[in-house]
Amino acid sequence: MSNPYRVMLVDDSAVIRGFLARWLKEESDIEVVASVSNGAIAVRDFAKVKPDVVILDIEMPEMDGMTALPKLIQQDPDVKVIMASTLTVRNADISMKALAMGAADYIPKPESTRVAGDKEAFQRDLVEKVRALGARRRAKSGAAAPDRNTEVKPNTADRAKPSASGLYKNGEIILRKSTLSLMPEALAIGSSTGGPQALFKLFEKLKGTITKPIFITQHMPATFTSILAEHIAKIAGVTCKEAEDGEIVRDKQIYLAPGDWHMTVVKEGENVRIKLNQDPPENFCRPAVDPMLRSLNSAYGGRVVTVILTGMGHDGKQGSEVMAQSGAPVIAQDEASSVVWGMPGAVATSGLSTSVLPLEEIPTAISKAMTGRPV
């Protein structure tokens, strides 16, 4: 295939580089243009091989990933860097910092002793991220993408049509009007690729305004969700924690779905209670946004403000449909400010969102929506 996505592998383990290279080379639209053992070589060879995507290990001799990351981005601000990290608390914390420094995403690095069992899920995740981020890099730089349409695109086949219910076209995006007549009682946020960075920026602006409970599902493994909760808590200035099964929901708290668990809620008398489960993945994800949104809609009678941030695929679309049927406001991040416009794009192009906004404008829209004003 002509003009495939160009990938540089940077890892001191020849075994890991071999696994990654072999899996990526199975895809006709992806080419591994370099495979090097440390950050110093990556920085030296970067301009020569011109990668779209760099898969960068954290711990390496001579120059580690955190040192190499800003040097690579300095050479090409549009390059997409995926941090490869073993699932330790320390590396999860480093990965969160790398995302804040400009890395686009991360992957939990497969351990050579258990690669065989992880192969299918890991390979699918790796390939999808390379394609989505590669396509985004090509789009931003104006370069041509591979012949095939490889980016995870929103499904536009089922776009809603303008009707008397308030749907109307705004370019390619179809908006609807919220008909919620009661004050919202909760805020729900769904995100995936690029989500941690978006959440950090969101809560920087929401700090001091949080009065209702906030529920977040971010596609992320278990070790990482606990670290993400700590980072959000520091930024937001309120308690943010991994949700615990059976706990009663409180105002002014942020609940994050734990890795590998779906987070749902149930109404019990005057209380709303967290219920975690390990039901099958939805949209290849656990935790997934859709079960969270369905349960929130039921528990709060639709009195929920929903925000769908950057991410691959379409998780959150089905849950947003349920929210739309209740007349609740649904805010989608716009394409320009998204790392990948899959999840918000699926909502925005299906007539489910009441507004489609740049990330920097979403905090203001949330504040308005949480006080019952239209967005």
67 in any annotated domain: yes
152 in any annotated domain: no
Q: What are the start-end ranges of the H helices in the chain?
A: 14-25, 39-49, 65-75, 89-101, 115-141, 195-206, 222-236, 289-300, 317-325, 343-348, 362-370
- Do 187 and 124 lie in one domain? The reply is no
Show which residues are catalytic.
Answer: 192, 219, 315
Given a contact cutoff of 8 angstroms between Cβ atoms, the answer to whether 82 and 107 are in contact is: yes
In degrees rounded to 5, what are phi and psi of residue 280? -55, 150
CA distance 155 to 75: 35
Q: What are the start-end ranges of the H helices in 142-288?
A: 195-206, 222-236
340 in any annotated domain: yes
Cβ atoms < 10 Å from Cβ of 218: 24
Domain boundary among 125, 141, 157: 141
- Do 131 and 196 lie in one domain? The reply is no
Give the domain CATH number at 84.
3.40.50.2300
- Do 177 and 56 lie in one domain? The reply is no
- Do 126 and 202 lie in one domain? The reply is no
In degrees rounded to 5, what are phi and psi of residue 327? 80, 10
- Do 42 and 122 lie in one domain? The reply is yes
Helix (H, G, I), strand (E, B) or coil at 129: helix
Residue with tokens 């760099």: 54
- Do 337 and 217 lie in one domain? The reply is yes
CA distance 191 to 342: 10
Tokens of 305: 């403000």
Q: What is the DSSP string of 208-238?
A: T---S-EEEEE---HHHHHHHHHHHHHHHSS
Count of structural domains within the chain: 2
- Do 313 and 257 lie in one domain? The reply is yes
CA distance 279 to 222: 16
160 in any annotated domain: no
Helices (H) and strands (E) in the chain — how many of each?
11, 16
148 in any annotated domain: no
17 in any annotated domain: yes
Given a contact cutoff of 8 angstroms between Cβ atoms, the answer to whether 356 and 348 are in contact is: yes
153 in any annotated domain: no
Query: How confident is the prediction along the chain (375 residues), in pLDDT tens digits per residue?
Result: 789 999 999 999 999 999 999 999 999 999 999 999 999 999 999 999 999 999 999 999 999 999 999 999 999 999 999 999 887 888 899 999 999 999 999 988 766 435 445 677 788 889 999 999 999 999 887 888 887 654 444 443 344 443 333 444 555 687 898 988 889 999 999 999 999 999 999 999 999 999 999 999 999 998 899 999 999 999 999 999 999 999 999 999 999 999 999 999 999 999 999 999 999 999 999 999 999 999 999 999 999 999 999 999 999 999 999 999 999 999 999 999 999 999 999 999 999 999 999 999 999 999 999 998 888
Domain that holds residue 177: 168-370
Residue with tokens 């290279």: 21
Residues 6 or more apart in contact with residue 318 via CB below 8 angstroms? 290, 293, 294
- Do 173 and 120 lie in one domain? The reply is no
- Do 296 and 235 lie in one domain? The reply is yes
What does the DSSP 8-state code read for residue 286? Answer: S
CA distance 180 to 366: 14
150 in any annotated domain: no
- Do 273 and 181 lie in one domain? The reply is yes
C-alpha separations of 82 from 72, 175, 202, 353, 372 in Å? 12, 33, 22, 30, 39
- Do 130 and 278 lie in one domain? The reply is no
Q: Is 320 left (phi over 0), alpha (psi -120 to 50) or beta?
A: alpha
- Do 135 and 180 lie in one domain? The reply is no
Give the domain CATH number at 224.
3.40.50.180
Given a contact cutoff of 8 angstroms between Cβ atoms, the answer to whether 333 and 198 are in contact is: yes
